[in-house]
Structure 1
């Protein structure tokens, strides 16, 4: 039976929980340093075609440095187009320094479900043999095994510009051959931000014995690198972008680059949660794989109880990059879109009252045979987060992530954000209720069988944490 003290305190606790949008004594985001970037120096690119065109234009115009950080640079037409543009830029300006950083494990294997190969690293070596050593391509091993974490850092620094997107570099991300994978694309023309992002990879990657060239000589085995990988992980747990705090004048937006690595002392995770907790009226959350970390789910529940309006945009399972159409041979990796849809269905069912009232809006994106890869936040009209973080347990604890926190008290980017959101909704449908999502009983037989096996052994929880 509850004590008298507990009962006396209960009304106060309930009142504090239910009062809408009470002000916190101190906003954790206010303590973060930032670069004051003129709003006129920030551009939102329309689509994957504009992203590809802008990237190639800036590579062609580069005179001093090109630093590309991405999960992978693929051995396909899109990847080769980028690699050829880099070598052409080096030929035009021999003093131009070019470095590309990709995940070590991802670069050294073939595609999932395809025959075994030497991976993208084979293409890197072939170009170096043919065109010379002018483009340095490094493999970054964040963990000893790809399953337990990859380089998921994003950002292309070209001279004094930062092109930021969650996209990697291949045919579908670059809208080659009639298909695209939708992401977000932003261009910042700011030397200090560019210096900070380029300086980070110089300090943390180039200086690390764990980070090796993939396109020159014989690369060591992962096993031989394990002591160096351990040291790199320890360094990354303490690492941060160098940000000399500016003052925010008229016409400027506060931009803070943030690093995310590990379950604790994770600056990016902390900022994402702080941005959500600080919401007053509205949150827009974008994620490609509906598998939210527990802290994010908890904060969303608090916001709904406070009356905040929430919009979630996710991809339809057929817009997931792991989806396998029924007419094609099924592989186990094709189970993932069904797991994510199950997660979403349970969430929608648990919050059906908020969906009915219009307080919770789940937007399901689908456009032909294109796929969906959006991530990030809009909070009210003055905070946004651009990130490659998938907002899932893997990104929350295992992968090396980053993001750009934008604080815009003057609402200078409001119209651009509204236009971006309107464009994203163009191919999305608001769920009327959880019944609008396919029931597991309607899934293909092989999917139903695997899901039953996972549920019976509770392996679905492990899969949700790792993939």
Structure 2
């Protein structure tokens, strides 16, 4: 965080807002897989997600493909690794591969002492238990600051367990705390095949993607040419879904989409098209209130058209970077306050719509637990499952994906209503922008750093990068 405050102007130029407009809606000819509504399950909580993941691993017979930002060196991460090695021992023919972000895997936690990161745990398991679980690092950018592997989805045989959660203690609700996300299980061989094939085609075949649980790991500098080739490959990549699908009366249309870079980004274009197509109401979930400019513009258009908008955001105390009063302050602890400032400005600009009930901002908080939800509900017939944080970093830098669920027969409506009702149990509707804490009342260390950022106008750059 400290090095961002002194970042050069060339970095700001690299993060210019996404301005390209799609000439035609990407939804016009969107290929899809017809998935029976009964094959789509909404899991209610982190403990259910953990139980389902471990059960699927234990029952796997052909393949396990896990793609996640990180598999942490803690009790939760080790529980998953233990389950993977146990599954391989039971089924020697089982193919197991895990893909994590290259940079994130080889550093310690932010604010902690320098270490070899989670990769040290991976090598320790391989040395102790032998081969059979291949763990790869994926460097989608040359530096973590410029973007990470943020794909989601665990393929286990013919099932896809989809969540924005990574794998560690707090995401898996161990030791009394949890980080809430969304959790969906889709049992469909075509979807599982498409997601597994993408990984095989673009990751396993890339010279930039290397095993982390081996003795000799190349440096990032050595991989620079291969990383450039991987980025170019990903710019035009996507999931292979055959066109011409037909939707039966009990089916939901499911389309996996990829997003990478500022231009020709299928996921970004689809999200904007879905928002623009809103007829009556939209629900938008994001953990960090830092919306990309195109999304802010579309939300403003929807409000002028009279559509109802519901936003659910984590309270700043539910942010995973929040540092409670009394604990030593670190610069990374500025982020929850930056996001709250963004929200305060947005709420102030739209105070009339908040007062009328057209705009509803829900702040989620449950004790010392944290909030990590993302996604969309549009009217009663569209849902988006994604790990995309709906912020400028996700919009332009990270490698993202999402599942678009088109449900014209409203077969999933009851499940989605139940999910939304459960989320609101720990949320409070913002009555007015003044209900948010004023920056004048922030801790002294926060006020000092915010003043420095504002004076140098670097707050805008920080918003784009984090």
Q: TM > 0.5 between the two?
A: yes
Who is 1:334 aligned against? 333
Task: Check conservation: 1:48, 1:183, Cα contact below 8 A.
Answer: yes
Counterpart of 2:406? 407
Aligned-partner Cα distance in 1 for 2:229–2:45: 39
Please state how far the C-alpha of 1:27 moved relative to its aligned partner: 5.7
SS in 2 for 1:57: helix
For 2:434, the equivalent position in structure 1 comes to 435
1:161 to 154, 159, 162: 159
**Gaps in structure 2 of 5+ consecutive residues:** 1-22
The size of the alignment, in residue pairs, is 443
Corresponding residue number in structure 2 for 1:6: none
The residue matched to 1:31 in structure 2 has which SS?
Answer: coil
2:283 is equivalent to residue 284 of structure 1: yes
Deviating beyond 6 angstroms after TM superposition, the runs of 4 or more aligned structure 1 residues are: none
Of 28, 48, 51, the match for 2:49: 51
Structure 1 counterpart SS, 2:89: helix
The 1-side partners of 2:25 and 2:415 are apart by 25
Is the CA contact 1:268–1:403 (under 8 Å) kept in the aligned structure 2?
A: yes
Question: For residue 459 of structure 1, what is the aligned residue in structure 2?
Answer: 458
3-state SS, counterpart of residue 420 of structure 1:
helix
Q: 1:126 aligns with which of 90, 107, 124?
A: 124
Partners of 1:279 and 1:206 lie apart in 2 by 39
Partner of 1:73: 71
1:81-118 per-residue CA deviation (whole Å, 9 max, x = no partner) reads 00000000000000000000000000000000000000
The equivalent of 1:352 in structure 2 is 351
RMSD: 0.9
Once the 2 structures are TM-superposed, how far is the Cα of residue 30 of structure 1 from its aligned partner?
3.4
SS in 2 for 1:102: strand
8 Å contact from structure 1 (residues 72, 169) kept in 2? yes
Deviation (angstroms), 1:328: 0.6
- Following superposition, the deviation at residue 28 of structure 1 comes to 3.9
Shift of 1:249: 1.0
SS of the equivalent of 1:378 reads strand
Which residue does 2:305 correspond to in 1? 306
Shift of 1:232: 0.0
For 2:65 and 2:93, locate their aligned partners in 1 and report how far apart those are by CA, in whole Å: 14
Q: How far is the alpha carbon of 1:31 from its aligned partner?
A: 1.1
1:84 aligned residue (52, 63, 82): 82
Counterpart residue number, 2:185: 187
Deviation of the 1:80 alpha carbon = 0.1
- Per the normalisation by structure 1, the TM-score is 0.94
Task: Report the Cα distance in structure 2 between the residues aligned to 1:364 and 1:247, rounded to whole angstroms.
Answer: 40
Measure the CA separation in 2 of the matches of 1:312 and 1:147. 28
The residue aligned with 2:172 is: 174
- Given that 1:27 and 1:278 are in contact with CA atoms closer than 8 Å, whether structure 2 keeps it comes out as no
Aligned-partner Cα distance in 2 for 1:225–1:461: 31
> For 1:82, what is the secondary structure of its paired residue?
helix
Matched, 1:152 2:154: no
Tell me what 1:7 maps to.
Answer: none
Q: Secondary structure at the match of 2:28?
A: helix
Question: Shift in Å at residue 26 of structure 1?
Answer: 8.1
SS at match of 1:186: strand
Deviation at 1:462, TM superposition (A): 0.3
For 2:324, the equivalent position in structure 1 comes to 325
CA distance in 2 between counterparts of 1:427 and 1:118 reads: 38
Task: Provide the secondary structure at the position in 2 that maps to 1:30.
Answer: coil
Question: What corresponds to 1:20 in structure 2?
Answer: none
Could you tell me how far apart the structure 2 residues matched to 1:435 and 1:104 are? Answer: 42
2:303 and 2:24 map into 1 onto residues whose CA distance is 22
2:259 matched residue in structure 1: 260
Aligned counterparts of 2:164 and 2:363: Cα–Cα separation in 1: 19
Offset of 1:216 from its aligned partner? 1.3
Cα offset, 1:54, TM superposition = 0.1
1:206 and 2:204 aligned: yes
Please give the alpha-carbon distance, in whole angstroms, between the structure 2 residues aligned to 1:217 and 1:437.
51
Query: How far 1:160 moved relative to its partner?
Result: 0.1
Contact 2:147 2:399 in 1 (8 A): yes
In structure 2, the partner of 1:35 is 33
For the Cα contact (< 8 Å) 1:34–1:255, is it kept in 2? yes
Aligned residue in 2 for 1:235: 233
| Counterpart-to-counterpart distance in 1, 2:424 and 2:269 | 28
Contact 2:26 2:266 in 1 (8 A): no
Distance in 2 separating the partners of 1:277 and 1:347: 19
Report the 3-state secondary structure (helix = DSSP H, G, I; strand = E; otherwise coil) of the residue aligned with 1:29: coil
Distance in 2, matches of 1:383 and 1:205, equals 30
**Contact 2:35/2:253 (8 A) holds in 1:** yes
Question: What is the distance in 2 between the residues matched to 1:30 and 1:254?
Answer: 14
Distance 1:406 1:29 in 2: 12
> Counterpart of 2:233 in 1: which secondary structure?
helix
Q: Distance in 1 between matches of 2:24 and 2:439?
A: 45
Cα distance in 2 between the residues matched to 1:420 and 1:244 = 31
Between structure 1 and structure 2, the one with the greater Rg is 1
Structure 1 residues 231 and 28: alpha-carbon distance in aligned structure 2, compared to 1, 3 A threshold: closer
**Does residue 404 of structure 2 align to residue 387 of structure 1?**
no
Give the deviation of 1:217 after TM superposition.
2.6
Q: Is the 8 A contact 1:288 1:372 kept in 2?
A: yes
Indicate the residue corresponding to 2:91 in structure 1.
93
1:241, CA displacement in angstroms? 0.2
